[in-house]
Amino acid sequence: MLGQIPTPALNARALARSAGHTGDRYPKEASPFIAWPAKNGDGMLHRIVWDYIAARRSHKLKGKELAELQGRKLRSLVDHAYRTVPFYHDAFARRNVTPDQIRSAEQLRLLPVLTRQDIQDNYPDRMLASGKSTAGTVIRHTSGTIGRPLEVVWDNEDCDRNTARHLVMAQSLGLSLLDKTVDIMYLGPEKPEPSTTPEMSRLRKILVGPITTPMIFTLRSRKTGFRRSVLEVEKELLKLRPTAIYSRPSYLRRLGSQLDREGKKLQVGKILAGGEYLSSSVRKELEGYFDSEVFNGLGAQELGTLGAECSEHRGIHLFSDHFAFELLRDGEPASAGEAAELVVTSLHNRTMPLIRYKLGDVVVPESGVDCACGLGLPRLREIRGRLDDGLELPDGTRIPVGPVVDYIESLGLRDYQLVQTGKGSVLVKLVQEQDTKQTVQTLFSYLRSLFGNDVQIRLEEWKEDDIPPKYRPVMRL
């Protein structure tokens, strides 16, 4: 089977043939509803191939064509949710809305937004679709760094589509199916250390069941966990010499700094950063440490990969063929260049639909000008991070994490944590070697400019060994 998979470039028809399909058994126009016919016991490769082919085509749709595809998917999903999910049936009734009133993403505002608390209060009984088997589904858990962990059920088709998006994204950045990639994952404190997955084992997973690995970009993808020490991960990466790495930028920066201190060089062609805010200063450091091209991404455990920076580095393309995005400012659509809150509807998860899910990210939309990369998908100019991670000023103004992180890191700080403990009190944790008098005074002046001169600021030493693998650099209690 491996011998039939083309390299270096991923070719859709050749990949289809490797799955056992020939000729034109998939139609020339992408459809969101048709999957490869699979009998019980068949693998998921059929659907992944189909979804890959469909995504490659739909990513290049523009304007009216993309809106029509999204509208067809949305109407089917809304009707399904109304008929089978108690939570949504009641939500429609309370608003006196029927599914046929929602024809496109613009009409979604007839419905209320869905919050994390709504899911926690109604899961599982009122959030899961009746008549849909949960056998073999995947339960995704948020990490719990923002409040209580959340559970979301993905059906097999949603897992496969997420994998297909990763394959399309990797191909658009120049990666092939046989390139070595490493996913450095965050695993919760109660989970054991993961082991790497051999290539043939990965192929076996593709052939016999749903792919549950959060990030699979090629057939030679491996994963390692944050619970392993930086030195252990460093040793593994130096042995593997991967073409691409996916991880959180803060962890990669610490890894790169460790390599730099030891005088070792790990050249990585592509770094795919996600899971937290990527500042311009950390991006530059990663480029230097790994001699790499760095790409930013947007995603969530609840929904999967939502968008990615393109090869031209002209913003984050949103996967509007798989999701309906609302970029809202004071409840109304934002204009290009305006900060907006991101509300997302997943168009494919029919076991646990998420309609108008308030993700909490603040983003800035880009204008509708075509991108030089050739993708027709809409773009974000920047991601400013989550409001829940940011600060709340005495007058009620909320500042997302991005601008705060950018300023702090412009001072040269890297390993730090800023914790708002009350309306007028802030705790600053710093690693001692960064604790210079001038830096601290400048940071305190910045905080007083935000909170006023009466703000109570407490400085605390943060020891290297106490820094967790995943943490929020800015947070509010």
Q: Are residues 412 and 358 in the same domain?
A: no
- pLDDT of 11: 42
Q: Express each pLDDT in 337-374 by its tens digit.
A: 999 999 999 999 999 999 999 999 999 999 888 899 98
Q: Quick check: 255 pLDDT over 50?
A: yes
Overall average pLDDT of the 52-73 stretch: 92
* Domain presence at residue 41: no
Q: Are residues 335 and 432 in the same domain?
A: no
Cβ neighbors of 332 (< 8 A, separation 6 or more) are none
Q: Are residues 206 and 308 in the same domain?
A: yes
Residue span of the structural domain in which 327 resides: 64-380
Overall average pLDDT of the 463-474 stretch: 82
Q: Express each pLDDT in 373-389 by its tens digit.
A: 989 999 999 999 988 88
- 147: confidence class by pLDDT, cuts 50, 70, 90: low
* Domain presence at residue 84: yes
Overall average pLDDT of the 330-336 stretch: 94
**Residue 398 CB-half CA count within 13 A:** 16
Q: Are residues 456 and 322 in the same domain?
A: no
Question: What's the sign of the alpha-carbon dihedral 272, 324, 313, 315?
Answer: negative
The count of structural domains within the chain is: 2
Q: Are residues 166 and 137 in the same domain?
A: yes
Residue 361, beta-bridge partner list? 386
Report d(CA 380, CA 278) in Å as an integer: 14
Q: Are residues 352 and 471 in the same domain?
A: no
Q: Are residues 273 and 373 in the same domain?
A: yes
Q: Quick check: 146 pLDDT over 80?
A: no
